[in-house]
A and B are shown apart, each in its own frame.
Chain A
């Protein structure tokens, strides 16, 4: 597998940062064999959800906390890791199916579902920290945090494969 590019970003916990970061990652992916929908829908929406979750829920918009974004791009796939300073969350427990009748009219709770529906793979795990100290927080689905801040960060890892390398 040939690596075509990598990108490491450290952004403040401010939602105004999301759109330009997403635009830059999508721009880089245009060099690979992703199709129009992957670049216009799957990647930008899933990235926006991951960054939004990190800023709003992981870091709780605390200006003293940071979000790390690591991008690895090959001819086969793009992998984006988004790390916050939150306590982490149980991805399965927090993912709600918005298509269930009882959830249709909810105003929140579609983010993790969309991320997982639009990406080939979504994982989360404890990371090494953003280098700015740890805080508390949890993913979408309040009350599902799994641990207190410990100096590590919470990482959400998104994988999207190019069309020729679809699973």
Chain B
């Protein structure tokens, strides 16, 4: 997995390329927590180039959402393909996250 981080205004955009799984979830968690520590409150995670996500990866997203919300911010998800959308629906995490079908819509949602 590789992370690509960029900014649009006050929104941090995190692109995840590859798999988000147990072996690399900590990298995403630490990077976003560092950004939150530095003041970031609005985060878009873009899954356009993501392969699959395991339960540990889902857990990190839950953890980050909870932390951002404690800080008065939020995390929004974009570009889940049909397979990943199914994963979120199976676990009902589609009810915990605001999911947009494009990066632009995710940005507009803030």
CA A104 to CA B53, docked complex, whole Å:
17
Report the minimal beta-carbon distance from B23 to chain A, rounded to whole angstroms: 4
* Residues B32-75 near A (CB distance < 8 A): 51-56, 58-60, 62-63, 66
CA A104 to CA B86, docked complex, whole Å:
16
- Chain B residue numbers with a CB within 8 Å of A99 are 90-92
Q: Does A37 contact B (CB under 8 A)?
A: yes
Per DSSP, chain A at the interface is helix
- Chain A residue numbers with a CB within 8 Å of B102 are none
CA A113 to CA B21, docked complex, whole Å:
16
25 interchain pairs, CB-CB under 8 A: A15-B22, A19-B19, A37-B83, A41-B83, A41-B87, A44-B51, A48-B21, A48-B52, A48-B54, A49-B54, A49-B55, A52-B22, A52-B56, A98-B91, A98-B92, A104-B93, A105-B62, A105-B66, A107-B59, A107-B66, A108-B55, A108-B59, A110-B58, A114-B54, A114-B90
* Residues A33-78 near B (CB distance < 8 A): 37, 40-41, 44-45, 48-49, 52, 56
Report the minimal beta-carbon distance from B17 to chain A, rounded to whole angstroms: 13
Q: Contact between B62 and A106 (Cβ–Cβ < 8 Å)?
A: yes
CA A41 to CA B84, docked complex, whole Å:
8
CA A109 to CA B83, docked complex, whole Å:
20
- Chain B residue numbers with a CB within 8 Å of A114 are 54-55, 87, 90-91
